[in-house]
Amino acid sequence: MNEIVSLLMQHRSVRAFEGSPLPEEDLRVIVAAGQMASTSSNVQAYSVIAVTDPALRRELSVLTGNQEYVETCAVFLVWCADLNRLSHAAAKYIPDGSDTYADSAENFIVATVDAALAAQNAAIAAESMGYGVCYIGGIRNRIAEVSALLNVPELAYPVFGMCVGVPGQLSGQRPRLPVDAVLHMNAYDAEKALGSVADYDETMTRYLRMRTDGRKSTPWTEIMAEWLTRPNRLHMLDFLNSKGFLKR
């Protein structure tokens, strides 16, 4: 196992940070590493907002579900899918009266995937520099308020946040599904995947029992059943439509 693979295999979310600031030079290196991620057709359809202002961080910690580490990390990065910059930059070359497709479902996917790929590159870069990270999907809990607070324009939206800072405490590493549950050779094999999921239920039951001193041992599939039946962030479609996405 080489050094990079070893680093990847050690990943864990960090939710407790020291008070150390993140030097701007390190921030720029982390974002530059993110920019080297693959991007569809070189559109680079993402932006990242580095939130360092304490008052803004306090508001964001509330808007994300009272997650205090949004406020206590060294810097909070808000990764945005962004077709606004591209639309304006290319406008001078688009003939008058010509239609554009920035509002299409496909281009929404392109921008969202681009943001995710860049963020993961940045996360790995940050970890290689000794920092810890934690993705914050709660940025979408009250996404209209977050967008207004951060002045996110039309054809752009916050996909997720990311806490970055010097770890104050390392949490345990949560087991992942077996490789055989996600790796299919030449064609999708649902039966093999489900067999591996059954093994994972046993792994997660043992993990939770150990982590909670026996207070919890819920199988992963039971936890996922609750997740699937929970109406989570159903406001997102209307919000994305309001920002000019998913029109066709």
CA dihedral 76, 45, 84, 126 (to 10 degrees): 10
Please compute the mean of the pLDDT values over residues 41-47 and round it to a whole number: 98
Q: Is the pLDDT of residue 231 over 90?
A: yes
* DSSP string for residues in 143-158: HHHHHHHTT--TTEEE
The closest of 17, 48, 26 to 132, measured between CA atoms, is 17
Q: How far apart are CA 203 and CA 217, in angstroms?
A: 10
Residue 88 belongs to what H/E stretch?
A: helix 84-90
What pLDDT, on a 0 to 100 scale, did the predictor assign at position 29?
98
Query: Mean pLDDT of all residues in the chain?
Result: 96
The confidence score (pLDDT) of residue 1 equals: 83
- Homologous superfamily assigned to 3-172: NADH Oxidase (3.40.109.10)
Share of the chain above pLDDT 70, in %: 100
DSSP code of 92? G
- Residue 15 pLDDT: 94
pLDDT of 99 > 90? The answer is: no
Question: Please, which residues have CB within 8 angstroms of residue 93's CB and are 6 or more apart in sequence?
Answer: none
Which pLDDT belongs to residue 49? Answer: 98
Could you give the C-alpha distances from 79 to 88, 98, 123, in angstroms and in order?
Answer: 20, 30, 12
Q: What's the pLDDT score for residue 86?
A: 96
Q: How many CB atoms lie within 10 A of CB 243?
A: 22
Contact 152, 132 (CB under 8 A): no
Residue 197: exposed, middle, or buried by beta-carbon count in 10 A (0-12, 13-18, 19+)? middle
Per-residue pLDDT of 1-18, as tens digits, reads: 899 999 999 999 999 999
User: Under a CB-based contact definition with an 8 Å cutoff, are residues 91 and 23 in contact?
Assistant: no
Structure tokens at 192: 């093999």
Q: What pLDDT shows up at residue 19?
A: 87
Q: What is the pLDDT of residue 31?
A: 98
Residue spans of the domains in the chain: they are: 3-172, 174-242
Cα 227 from chain centroid (whole Å): 18
**pLDDT the model gives residue 169:** 85
Coil/strand/helix, residue 136: strand
Determine whether 181 is exposed, middle or buried from the number of CB atoms within 10 Å of its CB (0-12, 13-18, 19+).
Answer: middle
Of the chain, the percentage scoring pLDDT greater than 90 comes to 93
Per-residue pLDDT band for 168 (boundaries 50, 70, 90) equals very high
